[in-house]
A = this chain, B = another copy of it.
Amino acid sequence: MHELAERILAHDVRAVARGLRFVDDRSGGYVQLLKDLFPHTGKAVVIGVTGNPGAGKSTLCDRLIEAYRKEGRTVGVLAVDPTSPYSGGAILGDRIRMGRHSTDDGVFIRSVATRGHLGGLSQSARDMVRVLDAYGAEVILIETVGVGQDEIEITRTASSTLVVMAPGLGDDVQASKAGILECADAFAVNKADRDGADSTVRDLELMIALGGETAAAASKSRGHTVHSEVAAGSAVVKDGAPVPERWTPPILKCVATRGEGIAEVVKALDLHRRWVEETEAGRARRQLRLAEEVREGLREALIEAAVGALGAKIDEAVRAVGARELDPYAATEKLIAEFRGGG
């Protein structure tokens, strides 16, 4: 077994940091590390936290960490940061985030820069979740900016996805909601003490209703409840509530800066976790996600293998296309034939 794997399984904090960097960089031997860790994974609850810029995702994550730690659960966080590494954004982000929890070794936080991950960011996120899972993190939060297709793909690596909204983020935000709808397992309407929170809730209700009628995969609007009271103890997700066979994303109001409404969000996510594990629909979704992972892993490994095998032949194809001796489509076909022919 990989020596690093042994140390990660022994809950060595420096080993997990190295392991995450190792996997993120796709350093030589990272696949073996993942193979060694795989049998020790599958226990963590993986929660995607996504939403538009300004919705307050980081603050909400901070509150969720606090809530999980109070329950005695260890937490891992992957913060997918769209800033370039050289801007210092990711590193700075880590320091700021660590501030509150830096003395708590039940929390492990790591920023992931999105640059240089062409085609492989969600695969990389999946692999890093496995490292945290093997290390022993019981709850893993993946925080992403939920705007691009890329970010939406990352949320699909989580078993539950929380979409964070906030009132008054402008018209284009409304437009971008539709793409988010399908991956939301719960909505948190943050900054719910601000004007416009009720209208955000109504927008979400309407969107779910519309989605439910035109897309089979989307939730039905019927029976959908809006949970409007903030921190008023409105136990909309009742303790010991039965797990529904059909999941409808609840809409939960909260004020993360003041810690209001957080308990409700935690309850909703716990119930969703049970839905994934205990219902047929939940298990079917899990299987679908697994199929996606295998296909996506295949996509990435194929191009890696092809680049390794073809080497300079790719450069020659680029030259020929540049000189317009060959069109790019014919160039690709030729390269694939050579790869398959054992080139």
Chain A interface residue count, Cβ-Cβ cutoff 8 angstroms: 79
A31 to B334, CA, bound (A): 14
Tell me the minimal C-beta distance from A204 to chain B in angstroms. 13
Per DSSP, are chain A's interface residues mostly helix, strand or loop, or mixed?
A: helix
Q: Which of A284-322 contact B (CB under 8 A)?
A: 287, 290-291, 293-299, 301-303, 305-307, 314-315, 317-318, 321-322
Contact B149 A147 (CB under 8 A): no
A94 to B299, CA, bound (A): 33
Contact B179 A114 (CB under 8 A): yes
Q: Which residue of chain B lies nearest to A127 when distances are taken between CB atoms in the complex?
A: B329
* Choice from B148, B302, B335, B339 contacting A148 with Cβ under 8 Å: B148
Q: A251-276 vs B: 1/0 string, CB under 8 Å?
A: 00000000000000000000000000
Contact B299 A303 (CB under 8 A): yes
**Is A234 in contact with chain B by the CB < 8 A criterion?**
no
Collect the chain B residues with CB atoms within 8 Å of residue A332's CB: 294, 297-298, 301
Tell me the minimal C-beta distance from A59 to chain B in angstroms. 12
Collect the chain B residues with CB atoms within 8 Å of residue A148's CB: 82, 114, 145, 147-151
Not counting A34-B329, A42-B324, A291-B315, a sample of 13 additional A-B residue pairs whose C-beta atoms are within 8 angstroms of each other reads A81-B175, A82-B149, A84-B215, A114-B148, A114-B149, A114-B179, A119-B296, A287-B318, A294-B317, A295-B307, A298-B314, A299-B299, A302-B306
Which 8 pairs show the lowest CB-CB distances between chains A and B? A148-B148, A53-B172, A87-B178, A38-B327, A147-B147, A54-B170, A83-B178, A150-B150
> Which residues of A are interface residues toward B (Cβ below 8 A)?
31, 34-35, 38-39, 42, 52-54, 81-84, 86-87, 89, 114-115, 117-119, 121, 145, 147-151, 153, 169-173, 175-176, 178-179, 181-182, 210-211, 214-215, 287, 290-291, 293-299, 301-303, 305-307, 314-315, 317-318, 321-322, 324, 327-333, 335-336, 339-340, 342
A-B contacts, 8 listed (Cβ < 8 Å) = A35-B329, A52-B53, A82-B147, A87-B214, A118-B149, A148-B148, A295-B303, A295-B307
